Amino acid sequence: MQTQDVTRRVLREHFGVGAAPGQYVVALAGNPNVGKSTVFNALTGLRQHTGNWPGKTVDNAQGTFTFRDKPFLLVDLPGTYSILAHTVEEQIARDFICFGCPDVTVVVLDATCLERNLNLALQVMEITPNMVVCVNLMDEARKKNITVNTDLLKKELGVPVVATTARNGDGLDELRETMYQVAAGTLELYPRRITYSEQVENTVQKLLPAIQRLVGNRLNPRWVALRLLDGDRAFIESIGLHLDSQAKPGVVSEAAREVAI
Amino acid sequence: MSATVKPISPLAEVCAEAESIRLGSGGKLGDAIVADIYANAESIVRKVVCQTSDAKSNWDAKLDDVLTSRLFGYPIMLALLGLVFWITIEGANVPSGMIADALFAFQDQLSEWFALAGAPEWLHGVLVLGLYRGLAWVVSVMLPPMAIFFPLFTLLEDFGYLPRVAFNLDHLFKACKACGKQALTMCMGFGCNAAGVVSCRIIDSPRERLIAIITNNFVPCNGRFPTLIAVATIFMGGAAATGYDALVASGVITSLVLIGIAVTFAVSWALSHTILKGEPSALVLELPPYRKPQIGAVIYRSIIDRTLFVLRRAVIMAAPAGAITWILGNIYIGDMSVIGHTAAWLQPLGYAVGLDGFILLAFILGLPANEIVVPILLMSYLSSGFMLEFDSLEELRAILVNNGWTWLTAVCTMLFCLLHWPCTTSLLSAYKESGSLKWTFAAFAIPTVIAFAVCFVVAQAARSLGFA
């Protein structure tokens, strides 16, 4: 339980998110204008609390709900197209998913422009396998004669996919159920690994051993390698900060290194 | 000791290794990573999404392929800009003359009434020759081009073309190490530089925001367009064979806007390589679907929000300015009016940059609002002797020529108008947005220095080469 204590402390201190013991923390990510707020409101109703991210001028909304007698804390991340951290919003979303260790990350996608939206889902998948893909705006897609095969999408991604029309409440029960199962760890997840071109893959392999020694099982070393190769200054700062604040004596144990995600 | 250092130093080591690989690849790795993610998304979508052809979105995509293509993107942008100016200039000629005829016929009527009422000569001078004539000039010269230009511009905006412009220009901004969103703040600046400066808030990086604030002035705003259009129409257009004059004038205006954009890039580049060093951040732009413009809304927005707004500002400022200019022009110290003295004092500096003392004085007095530069200039010319009855734009040309204007004066006036200091409203916005007197001063000083330098070079070059 010590690791949970650590992540709860990080959540409180770095993200201003005070989760009660035993409460599942759910992060809600998605592109702008995909109905993310509609999903958020539909799930939490009036049990909301809004403010700012600590030290930032970006809005932060948190809400709670109970499902199957389990308390959930839903954190609405800023709407972003990517989490490669080019803007403050992207950095907040990325840092929260990466270092806040939410129990579930729900990525809301727009069914009418899935290709662009899917990039975000793929990026999140590189950080954490504990995610649910929520394909929203299914009604609009139908209007535009777009059909999305969610079963096939689930197979392709290796994580649960739920089709919703949050405006009418369609699919929200299934979304809650899936979130619950992912949080409780009762679902088998085989997140798809992004296939990179040879050049990228080779350089990642070169860096991987050193990064595994460094981050252990706290972060996906492949993903860290990719960010370093991207020359992402903000990420290097964040990782320095969080590795430092999470560090305990005897930094990374031999065992932890073996179980790298 | 070791506990605090240990977790950091391996990180630094790995970072250094990654950095050397990254630089070794020529900085292409980051792009390759993103491209790979997109390729994955594309291959998944091809399997799971089925779209029965949708005529509308197909049409959108095809239009985007053309409007934002590497080959046609810039020529189309240029052509559209030129077309808008051509329609404006061609269309404004006739109503301009009609409005002027009506207003100046009324001036004679007014003069008669003043004479009938036995009003003193000075009152007639201040109110009719100063105030009313000033207003009449402003309305007849500025209203028709604005009433045509702004709806056309709003039409492009409503159609969804402006985001495509930002998309096209993005890589140029990136090359200058500035943010692509700057293109949007520039579009805003075409309306009003103060609004353009405020819109720089959309840029996240403080460095890039400052660059955008400082350079916003180089796109000509509402208040300066009428000046540019008037000078271009009567000077550049008149110089060409009849029939092509509107075409030449619109070409001149288009080139001026291009010069403004080129200066924007040059200054952005210079700033981001000297006092505002840094890497550019990425631009994420959602291209909205093309929409059929709502004609009613376009006309309402462009007439109410822009045309009448600018005209009101011009009238409010020009009316008292007209009266004051007339008074100053008719108070004599020795054998010259106050305006004459001031202009004479500014004459050497004005002449060096291809203008004259009166023009420079008008720009200085126009600091509160660029709209009043032409009115002040005309009034100071008119008050100092040349009393001309207004018949057509040709008369306006005569006024200027009688006061020693050549084509070089016209070119330098337009360049100076394009590049000179921002109006007080813009400066105030720059101060509020940057929160620093230093950067506000930079926003004033950089355009001023550039305007003087460019006009000086143009004037001296033209004179020494014997063109003027």
- The span from the CA of B404 to the CA of A106, in Å, is 72
- C-alpha span between B284 and A72 (Å, rounded): 33
Residue type (1 letter), A81 = Y
Interatomic CA distance for residues A142 and B51, integer angstroms: 10
Task: Read off the amino acid at residue A24.
Answer: Y
pLDDT digits 0-9 by tens, A170-184: 889 999 999 999 988
Do residues A79 and A93 make contact, with C-beta atoms less than 8 angstroms apart? no
Contact between A231 and B19 (Cβ < 8 Å) = yes
For testing contact with chain A, the best of B40, B46, B285, B287 (most A CBs within 10 A): B40
pLDDT at residue number B458: 94
Closest of A137, A128, A84 to residue A106, by C-alpha? A128
Highest averaged pLDDT of the listed ranges B11-15, B102-106, B284-288:
B102-106
Q: Output the CA torsion B201→B203→B206→B207 (10° steps).
A: -130
Cβ density class A3-18: b for 16+ within 10 Å, e for less: eeebbbebbeebbbbe
8-state DSSP, A164: -
Give the pLDDT confidence score for residue A257 in this predicted structure.
38
Chain A window 27-86: which residues touch B at a Cβ cutoff of 8 Å?
32-33, 81-82, 84, 86
Terminal-to-terminal C-alpha distance of chain A:
19
Q: Which of residues 172-231 of A touch B (CB under 8 A)?
A: 192, 194-197, 199-200, 203, 206-207, 210-211, 213-214, 225-226, 228-231
CA distance B248 to B234: 11
Q: How sure is the predictor about B260, in pLDDT bands with cuts at 50, 70 and 90?
A: very high
Contact criterion met (CB below 8 Å) for B228 and B414: yes
Distance of CA A118 to the CA centre of its chain: 13
**Of B243, B260, B191, B204, whose CA–CA distance to B419 is shortest?**
B260
What is the biggest distance separating any 2 CA atoms in chain A, rounded to whole angstroms?
58
CA–CA gap between residue B255 and residue B72 (Å, rounded): 18
Identity of the residue numbered A107: V
Instruction: With CB atoms and an 8 Å threshold, state whether A144 touches B51.
Output: yes
Touching check for A237 and chain B: CB below 8 Å? no
Q: Is the pLDDT of residue B98 over 90?
A: no
Q: Does A243 contact B14 at a Cβ distance shorter than 8 Å?
A: no
Looking at chain B, the number of H-run helices and the number of E-run strands are 23, 3
Decide if A135 contacts A159 (C-beta within 8 A). no
Q: Between the CA of residue B304 and those of A96, B310, B425, what are the distances in Å?
A: 46, 9, 20
> Pick from B15, B30, B49: which is nearest to A114 by CB?
B49
Domain ranges across chain A: 3-184, 198-260
Percentage, residues of chain B above pLDDT 70: 91
Any idea which fold A3-184 has? Answer: Rossmann fold (3.40.50)
**Cβ atoms of B260 and B419 closer than 8 Å:** yes
**Which of helix, strand or coil describes residue B39?**
helix
Pairing of strands B336-337, B332-333: antiparallel
User: What distance in Å separates the CA atoms of residue A8 and residue A73, rounded to the nearest whole number?
Assistant: 12
State whether A194 and B47 contact (CB < 8 Å): no
The angle at the Cα of A54, spanning A52 to A59, to the nearest 5 degrees, equals 20
Task: Please check the confidence at residue A255 and state whether its pLDDT lies above 60.
Answer: no
Name every chain B residue with its beta carbon within 8 A of the beta carbon of A85.
none
The interface pTM score, or ipTM, of the predicted complex is 0.82
Q: Is B463 on the interface with A (CB under 8 A)?
A: no
What is the pLDDT confidence band of residue B393, given thresholds at 50, 70 and 90?
low
pLDDT surpassing 90 at residue B348: yes
pLDDT of residue A64: 87
